[in-house]
Amino acid sequence: MSFDLVFFGGTGDLTWRKLMPALFQAFRHGKLPAGGRILAVARDQRTDEEYRAFIKERFHEVDSSKRPSDEEFARFAELLHYRRMDLSKPEDYAGLKDWLDARGADTVVLYLATSPHLFPAICEQLGSAGLNAPHIRVVLEKPLGHDLASAQEINRVVRSVFREEQAFRIDHYLGKPSVQNLMALRFGNALFEPLWRRESIANIQITLSESIGVGTRGDFYDRTGALRDMIQNHALQLLTMIAMEPPSTSDADAIRDEKLKVLKSLKPFTPESVARDVVRGQYRAGSVGGQAVPGYQQEVKVPAGSHCETFVALRTEVQNWRWAGVPFYLRTGKRLAARDAQIVVNFRPVPHPIFPGAQRANKLVIKLQPEDGLELHLLAAKGSGTSESLAPVSLDLDFDKAFPTERVGAYERLLLDAIAGRLNLFVRSDEQEQAWRWVEPILDAWERERVSGGEGPRGYAAGSWGPAAASALVARDGFAWSEEQ
């Protein structure tokens, strides 16, 4: 199958830092279909050879295990091409169409690795140029919009040019092998499904924490914040995969229909519940890994007095028969104590304890990063005497050790799926809009507080697990975050 893959924003950070290394890995592993061309477009004037030299230089900045040898890069570079384009000029789109039509590849993938505010204009130009034929797909990088209205406008324009099955809205978390294992864990095994409900589960915690700060991205991040950057997309997608009903098939729409039902079942926020069930914070100066680090407002390009949140913790519920009354806690933040992404399923304690000592409830930890695996925490008897207390034990599965062959990275998997036309791991427009609809009352409440001169986010020391109020949020229900248990 011949394909052309076009990157709009071909000299940007996303393209050289994430997308090109992912494509090279697919090429190295022999998974990239034969007969492909990769075209980067940007405003700069470059030749193909100059662009190839640019990408080769940037490969020195990726992980050493993912860098090509000179011989490998020489073969990979044969796929790389470059065109200068001004994204506002119709004649440049016509030139791109001529370049693509000259070969007539079976599949054309147009990847918009640009600022999202350019998506509508680019899609309109693509439609005017006739770059929307059935064999053409468009990939839209997140964040898709800044709020519900902007997301709806992007989707309106995309739908006016492309059919829904041609639009691939990417959330790279869905490409992680560990996230795909959520589906396998639940629907490929009979072990957990009978317990996957309110009668057996006390609460579910989703944590997406980073130890790094905003770095040089202060201006971008200050317009975005943790809620838009992580909760509205990554955390909610994980929640839907944990809480969804079993789909009838593994088809994309069957899966996405069930995810949408979860989003529509989330308990809606009111001004009162935002104040009660949402904690936002902003990191102050502190220490991470033994190194002193500045506070958010001392970072480059962050405006003085910023109310931007770098931490969010919230409590919600899925209001249906399976999950009624079970709290879901979502947490994300920068400059936290560790880089960690995990889902913790805390089970209810046994109904009638017969052993002495404290009875710790079972829990399942689904580790997403930096490790990729499962931990099942149980209680067992040592066998050292009568009337002994039970001791905690754990079953630990490391997927990297269980599957020692080279595993496919997130962007590698998603790029290959886009080329093949597989939509399972991409977000449908109604999912995306419903997620915005759910978080918008939080954004509105924060904006009202800012306008009225409110105090803004709570401070927390860099290197901690966020504001103390986040612990109080969970303790109010009689629970604790995983690291506090």
- The catalytic site residues sit at 234
214 neighbors 310 (Cβ within 8 angstroms):
yes
Pairing label, strands 363-369, 373-380? antiparallel
Distance CA 59, CA 20 (A): 9
307 neighbors 450 (Cβ within 8 angstroms):
yes
Secondary structure of residue 426 in the 3-state scheme? coil
Residue type for 451, please? V
Residue with tokens 């009202």: 448
Token pair for residue 168?
Answer: 């691939």
Distance CA 400, CA 403 (A): 5
Runs of H (alpha helix) within 16-89: 20-28, 48-58, 70-77
β strands within 348-457, DSSP E = 363-369, 373-380, 391-398
What DSSP character marks residue 409? P
β strands within 267-412, DSSP E = 278-284, 286-288, 291-293, 311-317, 327-333, 340-347, 363-369, 373-380, 391-398
Distance CA 131, CA 138 (A): 10
Secondary structure of residue 47 in the 3-state scheme? coil
Burial letters 215-241, b for 16+ CB under 10 A, else e? eeebeebbebbbbbbbbbbbbbbbbbb
